[in-house]
Amino acid sequence: MTVPDTPAAPAHFTMTEEEIIAKFPDRLRGYDLFRKMGSPKHVVAPMVDQSELAWRILSRRYGAHLCYTPMFHAKSFSDPRSKYFSEHWQTDSEDRPVIVQFCANDPDILLKAAALVAGQADAVDLNLGCPQNIARRGRYGSYLMEDWDLISRLIRKLHENLEIPVTAKIRVFPDVAKTVEYAKMVEAAGAQIITVHGRLREQRGHKTGLADWAKIKAVREAVKVPVFANGNILYYEDVQRCIDETGVDGVMSAESNLYNPALFSGKALPSWQLAEEYLEICKQTPTKLTYIRGHLFKLFRYSLPVHTDLRQQMAKAENLDDFCQVVAALKSRLLEDDAKDPFDAENTPVDEFGYRKYPHWICQPALRFEHDKANSTSGRLLNEAQADQQAKRNSDEAVPSTETPEDGDSKRQKVATA
């Protein structure tokens, strides 16, 4: 019987795995890395200008086990004398475990940037998921998805030369088989953890839609390294539901963490409480005003349309004291609102689709509702309506509904935005 030839390793694989282990005998791999970081189940995503040190500190206080830094541009970051480096790189002795994320399209520049954080992070992550137009123009993030050779060279360069492990965050393809092969290529190149954002590159902004947990599950079953899931997390209960349905090792939250940094604690807390705590952290941890403003607008997303005059003050704030004054004023008003209609966390009503009806002063996920006022009055989530349209296209006949209230909650979690 003829034994099939073993596929030749790519030319940029200049070392065998045995040689890499001999070169870095103490560098952790796969599940050893995962366990060293505390087997993190609750993960804060890398978010440009929003997962900065102060926010990571706040998130850890409320149940986050692992935090990623914002995505840094490897080329700009690679010069430690640059303004970009000094303005963006920020950590301290308590900032662990932490993974530093870079976008890049040049292996040598990526290695140069990654080497600058090797002694201050648990791993370095390659961003392969950013879908924004700036990533298309810069040729990084999800716009490398078709260039598997370059992706492999980027990861392999770190795997063969960096003192700490390399990980990667990817998006999915329309085809599950291609998604699995993509993830296996990333693993073979040297990624020790893979985060799968279960959305296509085209799913962004008002076209965000649903994350595909089935594709995440397929990746989890195909690779040997730990896998984190990203997408469809609105509430604390969604974390375990995602783990149960996909088998992943941890769940990453991006947008929902920004609107509710207490997400991973399972607590429904007033926005002013978290805002005050964040500002106290910022007093000890210098933070750019643009970051602070962005966070406060999200924390008070549902209250600022009620108290519009304070929205203007928030927009015009010029220093940390200004922000503190606006938050104090909001707190006073929101306490009055709560006194008129006290919030009962144990008896939170839900709407017809299973979404929790929190008062505006409670931190809660951002939901994208249908915006076609001429044709829609249902108040359903925009991405739920899109999902229904897709289901009709994919089905030849309708299936009678047997949905119970519990089933409705299960359905609800599948149309989350983050």
pLDDT value, residue 136: 80
List Cα–Cα distances, 211 to 118, 142, 173, 182, 203, in angstroms: 32, 15, 12, 17, 9
User: Could you say which DSSP state residue 373 is in?
Assistant: T
Mean pLDDT of 289-318: 96
pLDDT value, residue 78: 97
Please report, as a single letter, which amino acid is at residue 206. H
CA 246/CA 264 separation, integer angstroms: 19
Residues marked active site are found at 130
Threshold 0.75, pTM exceeds: yes
pLDDT value, residue 130: 83
Who contacts 235 (Cβ-Cβ below 8 Å, separation ≥6)? 263, 356, 365, 413
Report the candidate in 214, 281, 320 with the shortest Cα–Cα distance to residue 62. Answer: 281
CA 131/CA 137 separation, integer angstroms: 11
Cβ-defined contacts of 293-298 (< 8 Å, 24+): 293/317, 293/323, 294/49, 294/50, 295/50, 295/55, 295/258, 296/323, 296/326, 296/327, 298/258, 298/259, 298/366
- pLDDT tens-digit readout, 373-386: 444 344 444 444 44
Beta pairing partners, 126:
102, 168
Mean pLDDT of 337-355: 89
- pLDDT tens-digit readout, 153-184: 999 999 999 999 999 999 999 999 999 999 99
CA 209/CA 353 separation, integer angstroms: 16
pLDDT at 388 over 50: no
Which value, to the nearest 10 degrees, does the dihedral of the CA atoms of residues 114, 146, 44, 217 take?
-130
* Mean pLDDT, rounded, of the chain: 88
List Cα–Cα distances, 368 to 48, 83, 125, 255, 380, in angstroms: 21, 37, 29, 12, 9
- pLDDT tens-digit readout, 20-76: 999 999 999 999 999 999 999 999 999 999 999 999 999 999 999 999 999 999 999
pLDDT value, residue 401: 35
Of all residues in the chain, the percent with pLDDT exceeding 70 is 85
Mean pLDDT of 97-110: 97
CA 371/CA 66 separation, integer angstroms: 36
- Burial of 53 from C-beta contacts in 10 A (0-12 / 13-18 / 19+): buried
User: In terms of DSSP H, where are the helices of 78-147?
Assistant: 83-88, 107-115, 133-138
